[in-house]
Structure 1
C-alpha cells in the first residue's frame, strides 16, 4: 500500500512525456551507439575497404590482362596474315616457275619431236631412195633381159654374147631415158 501511494503521488505531480525517453535510456543508447560505431570504425570499415581494394585490383588486373591478351592476339593475327601473304607470294612464284618450266618442257619436247620426225623422214627418204635404186636396177636388168629376148625373137638370132648383150641393153636404156626426159 505504501508503494501504491508513492506511485500515485509521483503520477499526480508530473506527467512524463511519452515522446521523450528517459535520460538513462538516452545515455545507454548513446553508449551502445558509440561502441557499435567504434567497432565498425576499427574492424568492419577497414575490412570492407580491403575487400573493395582487392576487388578493384582484381577487376583492373583482369582488364589489363584482357588488354594484354587482346594485344597479343592482334600481334598473332598480324603475324598470321603476314605469313599468309608470304605463303601466297611463294605459291605464286612456284606456280610461275612451274608454268615456265612446263613451257620450257613443251618447247624442248616439240624440238625433240621435230628432230626425231626429221630424222625419221630422212631415214625414210634414204631408204626410199635405196629401194628406188634397187627397183630401178632390178627393172633395168629385167627390162634388159626382156628386150634381149624380144630382140632375139625379132631378129631370130642369138644375142648370147655378153658383151653384145650388155652394149645393146645399155643403148636401149639410154634411149629409154632420153625418151622419158623429153616426155617431161
Structure 2
C-alpha cells in the first residue's frame, strides 16, 4: 500500500471541511442538547435530593408531633386521674360531714325526746303522787303496814311496782 500525496491532501482537506461543517451545524446543536440534558438530569437529581430531605424532615416532624400527642394524652390521663381522685376525696369528705351532721341531729332528737319523756314522766309522777297523797289522807290509815299496802296498791294501778 502506497500513500499518494495528492489523494492524501484531498482527503485531508475534505476531512477538515467536513469537520468544520459538522462542528458548525451538527456538533454545536448536539452539544447544546447534551448540555441541556445534563442540566435537566442535574436539576432533577437536585430536586430529588431536596424532596428526599423534605421527606426526612417531614417524617421527623411527624415523629415529634406523634410524641407530643402521646405526651399530651398521657398528661390528660394523669390529670383526669388526679381530678377523679380529688373528687372522690371531696365526695368522701362531704359524706363524712353529712354523716356527722345526721348523727348530731339524731343525738339532738334523741335527747329532745328523752327530755320530753322525762318531763311527761315527772308530770305523771307528780299527778300520781298527788293521787296517792289524797287517797292516804282520805283513808287516814294509822298503821305503817296499812300505809305501805295502800302505796303498793296505787303503784300497781299506775304500773310502778310489781
* TM > 0.5: yes
The structure with higher relative contact order (CA 8 Å, sep 6+) is: 1
1:56: which partner in 2? 41
Q: 2 CA distance for matches of 1:85 and 1:143?
A: 85
Cα-to-partner distance string for 1:55-87 (whole Å, 9 max, x where unaligned): 012211110111011101111111011101101
Report how far residue 145 of structure 1 moved: 4.2
- In structure 2, list runs of 5 or more residues that go unmatched: 1-13, 141-146
- Please tell me whether residue 132 in structure 1 is matched to residue 117 in structure 2: yes
User: Which of 50, 57, 64 is 1:79 aligned to?
Assistant: 64
| Deviation >6 Å, runs of 4+ | 29-32
Cα-to-partner distance string for 1:140-177 (whole Å, 9 max, x where unaligned): 2333444456x28x9378xxxxxxxxxx9xx959x849
Q: Provide TM-score, normalisation by structure 1.
A: 0.61
**Residues 45 and 172 of structure 1: is their aligned pair in 2 closer, same or farther, counting only changes over 3 Å?**
farther
RMSD over aligned Cα atoms = 3.4
Q: 2 CA distance for matches of 1:121 and 1:60?
A: 89
2:127: which partner in 1? 142
2:138: which partner in 1? 155
Q: 1 CA distance for matches of 2:139 and 2:109?
A: 46
- In structure 1, list runs of 5 or more residues that go unmatched: 1-28, 158-167
Q: Provide TM-score, normalisation by structure 2.
A: 0.68
The number of residues matched between the two structures is 138
Q: 1 CA distance for matches of 2:61 and 2:131?
A: 100
